[in-house]
A and B are shown apart, each in its own frame.
Chain A
Amino acid sequence: MALVGNLRDFALADFLYLIDRGYKTGSLQLNRQSAAATLYFEKGKLLYAAQAQERESLGEMLQRTGKLTPQQVQQAVQLQQTDGNQSLGTVLVEHDLITREDLQRHIQTHIEETVYSLFGWPDGEFCFNAGVKLDRDDVQSPVPLGVENLIMEGVRRVDEWGRIKDHIPNTDMIARFVDQPLEKAKSINLTPDEWRIFARINGKDSIKEVISRTGLSEFDVSRIVYGFISAGLVEVTRPRPPVPATGRAGAGAAAGAPKRSLVSRIINRIRGM
């Protein structure tokens, strides 16, 4: 069953979080005005991303980045035509025009840049089809990418105060690590400013206090914390209201908790309806 919606309401960062945590396999189709992009995921990791309007071929990309000369590209294209069904990537590797690792690194960078550019879409229809797999030869398929870093970098490039405010409505909110944050953090690269904030998240101090300790602006701190939230490292909570001194400290029962017998009576009645 397809998951459909609009990026205006459910941001790309939120969707990538869902893919990651839901360990999803499938294709994500994005459409905005005349632009379109497709992303493929396997078990929560990104395999491939491309924009439909891309005009640059693999050969052109490698030439632009200085990895191949125009003559080498031309030679590879001719060999590809001779070899028949082989992809250009396979021809390049088999004829030692590029190493497999170099080729994959360039494709990976291209995929990452494609995804980052999608973070700039303020809206756009999305449709995720679970189970759809990428049909692509091994040489041109880079190592599956964890989406946490993509989210962090993508969010760094987003300047949407409104979206940030959805997650951090005010600076009284308290940031704390979600379960096993260190495990997730191992694969995330942080900038010095991000580290400054990361190190001050303790589940007790408000965002306001973090702002005052780091000397960074409210926007910068909120944007960085939003990045942590989007990557699933951190969650924010409201400060707990103070417990009245006379409050009952029952074992697991909130103050004013209903009696068990009353709840049982309601359950029995509902069951019998």
Chain B
Amino acid sequence: MQTVKMVISGAVNAGKTQFIRAISEIEVVSTERKASDDTKLLKGETTVAMDFGRITISDDLVLHLFGTPGQKRFDFMWEILSEGMLGLIVLVDSTRPETFRETNRIIDFFTSQRDAPYVVAANKQDHENAWAPDELRLALRLPAHVKIVPCVATQKDSVKNVLLELLYVIMQRSAD
């Protein structure tokens, strides 16, 4: 059985758990559930360790989805998680500009570690005060070749679309 993995990262409350939950065929495994810092203020059940989901591709191939811890104190896990990943999805909460700086830090970390394909998912596009993807590109200063995909992490079709967009990027860089 071959397994491949994708990493879902983003600042606290960007929607990583919801994203994986929307598409995983198994109940999302979260290794710890009790927030112990100010992230409690943002949501009742925040990710303090990591989320894990799975999609069976075929009898001999499985795709694993790993959600990274949002809090800065778990940075050390990012490097471990990114080892051998197929690609990376960076979720950004489009309604909270105060998280854009942290989002940039995450992108910077992963892109400096390895030359991994990635897309940015502009989550919470169904919210009235969401910044549009074009505005996020400018705010995050993303180069034109990096895809910013509109996303609603609670909707399966939207999550599928983000995964597919990442896979198209991976496909362009794949070997024959």
Contacts and interface: CB of A to CB of B under 8 A. Distances in A.
A254 B173 contact: yes
A260 interface: yes
Interface stretch (B35-43, B44-52, B55-63): B55-63
A166 B101 CA distance: 8
Nearest to A256: B84
Interface stretch (B12-20, B66-74, B126-134, B147-155): B126-134
B135 interface: yes
Interface in A32-48: none
A9 B167 contact: no
B176 A260 contact: yes
Contacts of A52: none
B127 to A, nearest CB: 10
A14 B139 contact: yes
A3 B131 contact: yes
B129 A1 contact: yes
B78 interface: no
Interface string B105-128: 000100110010000000000001
Interface string B79-93: 000001010000000
B29 interface: no
**Contact count band on B:** 35 or more
A273 B160 contact: yes
Interface of A: 1-6, 8-10, 14, 17-18, 21-22, 166, 169, 235, 238, 250, 252-254, 256-260, 262-267, 269-271, 273
Contacts of A169: 108
B97 A21 contact: no
A266 B23 CA distance: 13
A18 B138 contact: yes
What is the interface of chain A mostly: helix, strand, loop, or mixed?
Answer: mixed
B164 interface: yes
Q: Which 5 A-B pairs have the closest CB atoms?
A: A5-B97, A9-B98, A18-B138, A260-B174, A10-B97
A126 B135 CA distance: 15
Nearest to A239: B112
B98 A5 contact: yes
B11 to A, nearest CB: 11
Contact of A266 (B57, B84, B99, B112): B57
B174 A259 contact: yes
Contacts of B171: 260, 263-264, 267
Contacts of A252: 172-173
Nearest to B115: A254
Contacts of A238: 108, 111-112
Given A9-B101, A263-B170, A270 B164 contact: yes
A266 B97 contact: no
A210 to B, nearest CB: 20
